[in-house]
Structure formats: C-alpha cells, structure tokens
Structure 1
Amino acid sequence: MDVVQKMREAEGFTPTEQELAHTILCLGPRFSDYSIKELAQAAHCSIATIHRLCRKLGLEGMKELKIEMARSLERAQAAGTADINFPFGEGWTAGEVAASIRSVFEQTLAQTQSMLDMDTVEHAASLICMARQVALFTESHNRYPASMFADRLLSVGIDARCEADTERQIRCALLMGKDCVAIGISYSGVSMALERALPVLSERGVPTFLVGTPAAARLNPGLDGYLFVSDAERYQRRITQFASHLAVQYVLDTLFGSVCATSWPRSISYLEKTLPLTRKPGLIDDCSQQAAGR
C-alpha cells in the first residue's frame, strides 16, 4: 500500500494527524515545495505532529515522505489518471475532455469502493427495509442524488422523502422515531441541514447514517454508521463537483441495490402492482419476466 492510500485510510491516526494527512493530500504536487514549518502552519499543527505522522507511515521523516509522495504521483501519471479538481483546461479538444472525465470517474469509483464498508451498507439496507419511513437530510447539489434515491426507494414500496429546504427537513425529523431511518449527505461535513437536523434525530432515537468523507465523519461523530466517499476532490479549489457528485451517487446506488437484494420478493411484488398504473402507453415490458430471466 502506497503512502497516499495509507493517508486516505488514516488507520490509527489521531484527529490532528487525520487533518494533517488531508492537508498533504490536498496539496498534491505542491507538497514538495513546502518546508516542515510551512506544512505545520498550513495544517495548523505542530512539527512534532508531522514527525509522528511520518513514523506511523513507516517513514523516517519529512524528506522521505516527500520522496514517497512524488513516487505515488508519478505512478498516478503513468497510469493516465487525470487531475480530479481540474480535469480539463484551455484549448482541450472534446476527445481529450472525454478521456479525462472518464479517468476522473474511474479513479473516483475505485477509491470510493475501497473506502466503503460493506458491512455498514448491509446494516443500513436491513434497517431501511424495516423502516416506517426513510428521510434524506442534505442541501445544495446533493439534493439531486438524494431526491433520486428517495424516488427509487418509493419505487420498491419504501416510504422515503427528501425535503427541499432546511425548515421542511427539521419538521420531517420531528415526525420521525426509532422505527425510521435518516441519511445525511455532506462531502465536507459542514452543512446547515446536518447541524440542525442531527440533534433532533439523536433526541428522537432515529438510526442515522452519513454519506461523506472521513473528514465529514470526524465533524459529525456518534452516528449509527458512515458510508465513505472518495475524498480526493478539494472542498473549494476545484472547477466544479465531478468526483464528489459521482461518489455520492455511487454510494446511494450501492445502498439501493442492497436494499432491493435484501427484500427482493417484496420489491418485485410492489413493482408489479405499480406497473399497470405507471407504465407509459406502448410499453409492454413485464418486470416479473425480466427479474426471472436474470
């Protein structure tokens, strides 16, 4: 396992060391230009913390860390990986853009899959299958994959909702109980929706899961489970959300598939009941025949 992967997993790291590792990963190629004092200032930590992190990574010090970081970046470039934060630039052809975006997607999916704990996915899926109601708590661009996830749950007979604004989300949280499931979505963990909803959900004993980065989990401790996404995309210095949006969608799709797999007969039965009422004119696909043929 290379040094970048070790820092992403942050196994055995203290919260301060986790923040330091995140700073180093965000710096990327620029890390080689930093002195140990400059890194300590950028990460808001002590020089001693940097030395401790190096030892946990199996390295002698900052100099060796720079060498291993450079090697990791060279391997990524040799594999044809794209810059996740700026995957295209001035004068690029459409073909170059398409190839770079594909690389971003491949990197993001691979990293997210490696970080996603499948036992947590299955635990969340089992609770969702038994829940009286499932509610999504998020804001900004994450509302779109969250809303799609709620629609998909509804399509297999699970009462799910994704309210559009924070006020409605809080009212929804006040109606929930131990027989419900809440899912918060925030890449960074800094979210007004979570800040207001999580205390209400905790007070009411609602099982709550968070989809986000390890940094988001550290900002919101004590939940029932965490579904991690790739944290390679910077919070602010990026052209737009490509990797984070895809990672969230991938996690929610994986969770939805696990829900269906856990309650397959019920899901198919509900689909069969709804098809005559929701099928568009001219379409005669039989859901039960498709499912039986798989």
Structure 2
Amino acid sequence: MDIKRRMERASDFTPSELQIARTVSALGPRLQSLTLKELALAAHVSIPSVHRFCKKLGLEGFKELKVEMAKSDARHTGERGEVDINFPFAADDTADGVLAQMASVYETTLSDTRDLLDPDSLAHAAELLDNALSIDIYTQSHNLYPAQMFCDRLLSIGRHATCFESIERQSRTALASDRTHAALLISYSGLGPNLSTLLPILQERDVPTIFVGTPRGGQLNPGLSIYLHVSDRESLQNRITQFASHIAVQYVLDSLFGCLFARDYEQSRAFLERSLPITSLPALRRTELSPTEYAGVMLNRLR
C-alpha cells in the first residue's frame, strides 16, 4: 500500500507519531532534503520517536521512509498527471480542454479511491447490509443525490431502505432503529452537523454503522463498525464545486451495491425482473392492444 495511505489509515499512532505523520505529509517533496535530526526538529519530537514511527509503518528507518515518500510523490504527479481537483479548468479553456481536464479529475479521483477502499471492508459492509432488516441512509446537502439513488437501488432488489432529507426525520428514524437495522452515514469531511445528533443515538441503540468519507473524516468519528474511505484531494471550500467528492462517493456506493447484489444474485435479479412490469415506463409495458390502439391511448393521455 502507498506510504501516504498507510499513514492515513494507521489507527495505533501515539500523539508524537501523529505529529510526525502530519509533518511528513506537509513537507511533501521537501522531506528529501532533510536529515533525520532536521525532521525530528520540524516535528518537535525526539529522534527515537522517528525511528519508532518508521518501524510502525513496516520500514527499516528514515532512509526507507524517504524512498517510499519519493515513490508516492512520483505516482501522484507522474503517472496520473497533474490536474487541479478544485479548479480543473481555466476561464479560456475550450470545450476539448474542459473534457480532457474533467476526464483527468475522474481518473485521479477513481484511482485514489480505489487505493483507499479496502476490499475486505467493502465485503464486510455488504454482509452487514445483507443481514439488516432495514438499511437507513443518513446524509445531507449534495450527498443526498447519490444517497437517494442508492436507496432506490436497494428498493429495486427488495431491500427495505430509507433516506430522508430532513434532520427531524433522520433523527426519528435513528431513534426507532435497533441492532436489526444498519446505518449508512455519508459525510465527505466527517464534519456534517447531523453527525453530532445522530451518532450518539445510533451508538446508544447499538446500530451497526458504516461510514463513507475521507480518512480524516473517519478519524473524527471513531468507534463505528466499518469505514469506506474516499479520495481526499478536494478542498472543503476553495473549489468550483464538489466534482471529486461526488465522483468518489458515487463510486463507493455503486461498488457497495454491486457487492450486495452479488451476495444473492439470483434473488436480487428475480425481484428486479418481477417489479419491472409494475415500475417500468408505460410505453415499455406489455400490452394486448394493437400498435394503432396503443398509440391512440398514449396520444389521449397527452391531450
């Protein structure tokens, strides 16, 4: 795993080691010019603390840390190309230029999220949803759009699911839930104002909870059942709009739905097909009318 990802996902760092990780990340390529002593001074820790930090990451020492960081920087700037996730195009870009830059945003975001998303955690999340009598989705703002689509997909394969927009309904849903439910929390930053209300309720009710968001967002909300991490390159404020976070969240939810569907493929497909005659567009439903009669009915509906 990429060294930066290992630092982000580490759950057993001491306060000193967390400080070293933050310093190393902030330094970026500048780390290559520092000595061990200079890094310790920059992080305000002792040299032995840096040694322990490296060992905890599975590295032999500071030199290997520098090598791994250089490899990570090369992957981020070389293989994927440089694209500004927050401002991917300029005022004078042509349509071709915008298309190319947006393609880079998609490629970078999907690659980042694929690196962060642990397959075992994804499989565990699908198992948790599979065993739940009700799947309750909690989110806010622009994340409501992919969340509601995910809810519709769950309903399309016969799963009981909820996704309410209002905080009041979300709170009451949480209060009415128990360990037979599963909660899916979507918050890119982990700073959603609804979390401070919902998390204590869900924990008190012993509801298995899945968190979808950045690694930092997960660290801000510890103690949940499963964490599904997304790319964290997008600024929370300094951006055109939520291009990257939308792409990342949608990718995770699509993958989670795919894993859930695959767990009971035949039953999921059977329910989907059984519901099509009822839920499909009128023009696509089977009819005993002749084409002329059917066309007449449809024209009358338009008048």
2:222 counterpart of 1:242: no
Secondary structure of the equivalent of 1:122?
A: helix
The aligned runs of 1:25-36 (5 Å cut-off) are 25=25
Change (3 A) 1:37 1:123: closer
Q: Could you tell me which amino acid in structure 2 is paired with residue 94 of structure 1?
A: A
Partner of 1:195: 196
For residue 149 of structure 2, what is the aligned residue in structure 1? Answer: 148
Bigger CA drift: 176-185 or 68-77? 68-77
1:281 shift after superposition: 2.7
- Paired position in structure 2 for 1:207: 208
Distance 1:88 1:26 in 2: 25
Verify: 1:86 aligned to 2:87, yes or no: yes
**What's the CA shift for 1:146?**
1.1
Whole-angstrom CA distance in 2 between matches of 1:187 and 1:27: 24
Q: Give the equivalent residue in structure 1 for 2:110.
A: 109
Question: Which structure 2 segments of 5+ residues have no match?
Answer: 33-37, 287-303
1:178 and 2:166 aligned: no
Residue 235 of structure 2 aligns to a residue whose secondary structure is: coil
When residues 11 and 167 of structure 1 are mapped into structure 2, their CA distance, relative to the original with a 3 A threshold, is closer
Contact 1:189-1:212 at 8 Å conserved across structures: yes
TM normalised by structure 2 equals 0.77
The amino acid across from 2:186 in the alignment is: I
Change beyond 3 A, Cα 1:39–1:100: farther
Report the TM-score when normalising by structure 1: 0.79
Match for 2:101: what amino acid? S
Q: Which amino acid aligns with 1:192?
A: P
Deviation readout 1:150-185 (Å, 9 max, x if unpaired): 111011111111110211111000111111100111
Change (3 A) 1:38 1:247: farther
Task: Say if 1:103 and 1:255 are closer, same or farther in 2 by CA, change over 3 A.
Answer: same
Alpha-carbon deviation of 1:68?
A: 7.5
1:112 counterpart letter in structure 2: T
C-alpha RMSD of matched pairs (Å): 3.3
Gap change, CA 1:262 and 1:240, over 3 Å in 2: same
After TM superposition, the structure 1 = structure 2 runs for residues 48-127 of structure 1, keeping only pairs within 5 Å, are 48=46, 51=50, 55=54, 60=62, 73=73, 76-79=76-79, 80-127=81-128
1:7-42 per-position Cα deviation (integer Å, ceiling 9, x unaligned): 44547644664576457657868999xx979976xx
Offset at residue 48 of structure 1 (A)? 4.7
- Deviation string for 1:113-150 (max 9, x for gaps)? 12112222222212212322111111121111111111
From the CA coordinates, give the structure whose radius of gyration is larger.
2
- Which SS does the other structure have where 2:283 is aligned? coil
| Equivalence for 1:255 | 256
2:8–2:216: 8 Å Cα contact kept in structure 1? Answer: no
Instruction: Write the distance in 1 (CA, Å) between the matches of 2:171 and 2:111.
Output: 35
Q: Is contact 1:116-1:228 (8 Å) kept?
A: yes
Instruction: Tell me what 1:273 maps to.
Output: 274
Q: Following TM superposition, by how much is the alpha carbon of 1:194 offset from its aligned partner in structure 2, in angstroms? A: 1.4
| 1:158-217 alpha-carbon deviations (Å, 9 max, x no partner) | 111111021111100011111110011111111221111111111111111101111111
Whole-Å Cα distance in 2 between the matches of residues 20 and 47 of structure 1? 8
* Paired position in structure 1 for 2:161: 160
Deviation at 1:78, TM superposition (A): 3.6
The whole-number CA distance in structure 1 between the counterparts of 2:120 and 2:157 is: 22
Corresponding residue number in structure 2 for 1:134: 135
Given that 2:40 and 2:46 are in contact with CA atoms closer than 8 Å, whether structure 1 keeps it comes out as no
Specify the SS of the correspondent of 2:129: helix
- The 1:55–1:23 alpha-carbon spacing in structure 2 relative to 1, beyond 3 Å, is closer
1:292 corresponds in structure 2 to: none
Letter in 2 for 1:198: L
Contact 1:54 1:60 in 2 (8 A): no
Note the C-alpha offset of 1:271: 1.3
CA separation of 1:283/1:220 partners in 2, compared to 1, >3 Å: closer, same or farther? Answer: same
Partner of 2:261, secondary structure, is helix
| 1:261-292 CA-partner distances (Å, limit 9, x unpaired) | 0121221221122111111133269xxxxxxx
